[in-house]
Structure 1
Amino acid sequence: MSINGQAYIVGAYEHPLRKAPDRSLAQLHAEVALGALADAGLSKDDVDGYFCGGDVPGTGPFSMVDYLNLKVRHVDSTNIGGASYILHLSHAAQAIAAGKCDVALVTLAGRPRSEGQAKGGVKRTFDNPAQPDYAWETPFGMTILNVYAMCAMRHMHEFGTTPEQLAWVKVAASHHAQHNPNAMLRDVVSVEDVLASKLVADPLHLLDCCIISDGGGAVVVTRPEIARSLKRPLVRLRGTGEAIKGTSGGDIDLTYSAGRFSGAAAFAEAAIKPADIKYASLYDSFTITVIVQIEDLGFCEKGKGGTFVADGNLISGVGRLPFNTDGGGLCNNHPFNRGGMTKIIEAVRQLRGEAHPAVQVRNCDLALVHGTGGMLGTRHGSATAILERE
């Protein structure tokens, strides 16, 4: 079933707080849900489908459906980490096309900053020894940082990518974040600033890494008839794709992600090509994540991502592929350490013409949203969505 034109995003809301010690996790979910519904001109009583990832309190969607007092006939708690919410766009569109629901609510919230969650240098442990990868990875002290650093080092070895090129991703994000009053890091940085920051896992510096923040976001997806009855700009889903990449029994290439497959599926369904995209929301857990995704999504040849991002090519009004114009996970917001939801929200702002004037992309009619959940160097899921202003 193609989702092209089957569903529209009618509401989007990003929580303004980056630290919320006085909010519970359920409260944050409720606040972003009500914000997105208000943006759409709908109420909770209109919602008949609820979608969530692994960040909700309780067991799957049960607790939040009850907490929000929703009357739903369809739920989906598919969890592929930070890419879950982009995946939910596709799943919501499929459910709407199949008549399972009419108004789908997707929420994300987290409070890792208030809870004192450690950064990516801490050993990544798993609670379940029955997990098939447990015995082969956990005893060796794997961390998020060293896995992404390993990917960056391999990319440098294979293609000659440089630390300076990695730094340009952060530079572009900072140029955008300066215009976002809610961004956690608003100072513009230079390539030299990034390289002068603390080396945390060779070749990654501190400023190559995403922030940790509280907050959240939500979107509302509806069938076309409902979307056209609301007084909101029309943003339709044109194509989506999803994929998972693992270690292939040890035969693994660290230089590409599952985005190679999810992106190809999304472009095929949308019947467009990468050159048609005016704006890209790209998962930016680390600077290397962005470079790999740009290649895998077809914006440049494999191995040319470093050259592509250099010299401001990702900066709105300067480069040919404006990205993450809210500052992204590198500067703005990364609630629950999952960046997929905020990527959708900024793409919606761009397509509606509601981004900050300093970063608004001219004639923005096609946007791509892409996420990677899990760890790039081991097993992860990717989700891609192409959105169009109608």
Structure 2
Amino acid sequence: MSLNGAACIAGAYEHPTRKADDKSLAQLHAEVAQGALDDAGLSFDDVDGYFCAGDAPGLGAASMLEYMGLTKVRHMDSTDTGGSAYVLAVGHAAEAIAAGRCSVALITCAGRPRAEKAPPDLMVKAFFGPTVPEVPFENPYLHTVANTYGLVAQRHMHEYGTTSEQLAWIKVAASHHAQHNPHAMLREVVTVEDVVNSPLIADPLHKLDCCVVSDGGGALVVVHPDIAKTLKRPTVMLRGAGEAIKHLNGGKVDLSFSATRWSGERAFEMARVKPSDIQYVSIYDSFTITVLMQLEDLGFCEKGQGGRFVADGNLISGVGRLPFNTDGGGLCSNHPGNRGGMTKVIECVRQLRGEAHPKVQVKDCHLALANGTGGSLGTRHGAATLILERV
């Protein structure tokens, strides 16, 4: 079933906090829900579909439905693929709408890792805990999130000659955008030299190659096109959606590409457009290497040419030919609950509505792409891709 034109994003909201000492996790979910519904011009009473992921407290959807008083919901989904979960959720909401299971879908994301003083290995414990079947075979190698991404970066450098300086340009671009975002955690513009001279975290990745850890969250309201026509907000239509999983396959794995190779292909096929048609991209940026590989796997450049593609400001809005993460992304602005896919979709919506900061707004932006990966590129992970259009 094609989802091209099956649903529209009517509301989007990003929580302004980056450290929520005075708010519970459930409260953050409820506040972003209210913000997105207000943005759409709808109310909680209009919601008949609800979507969340593993960041929702308690029983997830069941707990949040009661907390928010959502009594009319007839369809729910709590699929979790980490950082890609909320990109994937938009496609799942569109599927539910197309199947007639709901007509107004609310998607909420929230997290408090800073306020809870979560340890750096929180995600490792979540995804690689003692009950996960592969853990006894992998734990002896003492992998962490950072060093598995470091392995991916090392492999890319070995295969294609990619350099630390090229990776640094991704952070530089993000910082150029973050300076205009009053809510960004890191608003200082940095240089390539700043990045490569920052402390080494997991060779070859430096501190400034890594994303921030933040509290907060965001929400989206996805609706049937007939409902979108009755609202006063610009229409952002879903044109393509794709999802995929990549496994380690018992160690027989090629670290030079990600599951985005397949999710992107499916989204472009559904949307009936090609990479050269895209005017803006939101790319999940857990690390700089993540962005570089996704750009290759999405077809914006040939495999192995990502280093050259991102260099010299090519990702800076108003300077390069493919603006990315114009809010500053996870590298500089926000990475709520380790599920940065939500903010990627929100910034796409801003760009398509013409509501991004004037200094980074892409002129006449009508076709944008959001992509997320979740888990770890160095192990098993999920990927999701959306193509969105202002109509």
Please give the range of the TM-score, normalised by the shorter of the 2 chains: over 0.9
Task: Note the 1:2-21 alignment, pairs <5 A.
Answer: 2-21=2-21
Q: CA deviation at 1:119?
A: 2.9
Question: Equivalent residue for 1:184?
Answer: 185
The count of residues paired between Structure 1 and Structure 2 equals 390
Amino acid at match of 1:225: D
- CA separation of 1:273 and 1:59: change in aligned 2, threshold 3 A: same
Task: Note the 1:195-344 alignment, pairs <5 A.
Answer: 195-344=196-345
Write out per-residue CA displacement over residues 136-176 of structure 1, whole angstroms, 9 at most, x where no aligned residue.
11232210010000000000000000000010000000000
Question: Equivalent residue for 1:158?
Answer: 159
For the residues of structure 1 that align with 2:127 and 2:166, how far apart are their CA atoms?
33
Amino acid at match of 2:48: D
For the residues of structure 2 that align with 1:260 and 1:238, how far apart are their CA atoms?
18
Q: CA deviation at 1:128?
A: 4.8
Q: CA deviation at 1:342?
A: 0.2
For the residues of structure 2 that align with 1:275 and 1:182, how far apart are their CA atoms?
31
For the residues of structure 2 that align with 1:73 and 1:7, how far apart are their CA atoms?
17
Runs of 5+ unmatched residues, structure 2: none
TM-score, normalization: structure 2? 0.98
CA contact (8 A) 2:86 2:339 kept: no
Q: Give the RMSD, CA atoms, in angstroms.
A: 1.2
Runs of 5+ unmatched residues, structure 1: none
Q: CA deviation at 1:120?
A: 5.4
For the residues of structure 2 that align with 1:198 and 1:344, how far apart are their CA atoms?
31
- CA separation of 1:350 and 1:122: change in aligned 2, threshold 3 A: closer
CA contact (8 A) 2:177 2:327 kept: yes
Instruction: Give the secondary structure class of the aligned counterpart of 1:129.
Output: coil
Q: CA deviation at 1:384?
A: 0.2
Question: Equivalent residue for 2:147?
Answer: 146
Question: Equivalent residue for 1:61?
Answer: 61
- CA separation of 1:126 and 1:79: change in aligned 2, threshold 3 A: closer
CA contact (8 A) 1:125 1:138 kept: no
For the residues of structure 1 that align with 2:73 and 2:133, how far apart are their CA atoms?
35
CA contact (8 A) 2:6 2:224 kept: yes
CA contact (8 A) 2:128 2:135 kept: no
For the residues of structure 2 that align with 1:294 and 1:370, how far apart are their CA atoms?
9
For the residues of structure 1 that align with 2:126 and 2:81, how far apart are their CA atoms?
18
Write out per-residue CA displacement over residues 245-278 of structure 1, whole angstroms, 9 at most, x where no aligned residue.
0112221000100000000000000000000000
For the residues of structure 2 that align with 1:154 and 1:388, how far apart are their CA atoms?
35
Question: Equivalent residue for 2:47?
Answer: 47
Instruction: Give the secondary structure class of the aligned counterpart of 1:243.
Output: strand
Of 112-121 and 64-73, the range deviating more from structure 2: 112-121
TM-score, normalization: structure 1? 0.98
CA contact (8 A) 1:121 1:144 kept: no
Question: Equivalent residue for 2:34?
Answer: 34
For the residues of structure 1 that align with 2:81 and 2:124, how far apart are their CA atoms?
21
CA contact (8 A) 1:121 1:146 kept: no
CA contact (8 A) 2:106 2:221 kept: yes
Amino acid at match of 1:141: L
Amino acid at match of 1:54: G
Q: CA deviation at 1:131?
A: 2.0
For the residues of structure 2 that align with 1:245 and 1:93, how far apart are their CA atoms?
23
CA contact (8 A) 1:183 1:331 kept: yes
Amino acid at match of 1:46: D
Q: CA deviation at 1:122?
A: 9.1
- CA separation of 1:310 and 1:126: change in aligned 2, threshold 3 A: closer
For the residues of structure 1 that align with 2:302 and 2:290, how far apart are their CA atoms?
16
Of 247-256 and 42-51, the range deviating more from structure 2: 247-256
Amino acid at match of 1:13: Y
Instruction: Give the secondary structure class of the aligned counterpart of 1:157.
Output: helix
For the residues of structure 2 that align with 1:160 and 1:380, how far apart are their CA atoms?
25
- CA separation of 1:170 and 1:321: change in aligned 2, threshold 3 A: same
Write out per-residue CA displacement over residues 184-243 of structure 1, whole angstroms, 9 at most, x where no aligned residue.
000000000001110011100000000000000000000001001000000000000000
For the residues of structure 2 that align with 1:201 and 1:144, how far apart are their CA atoms?
10
Runs of 4+ in 1 over 6 A off after TM superposition: none
Matched, 1:380 2:370: no
Identity between Structure 1 and Structure 2 (%) = 68
CA contact (8 A) 1:149 1:203 kept: yes
Q: CA deviation at 1:121?
A: 9.8
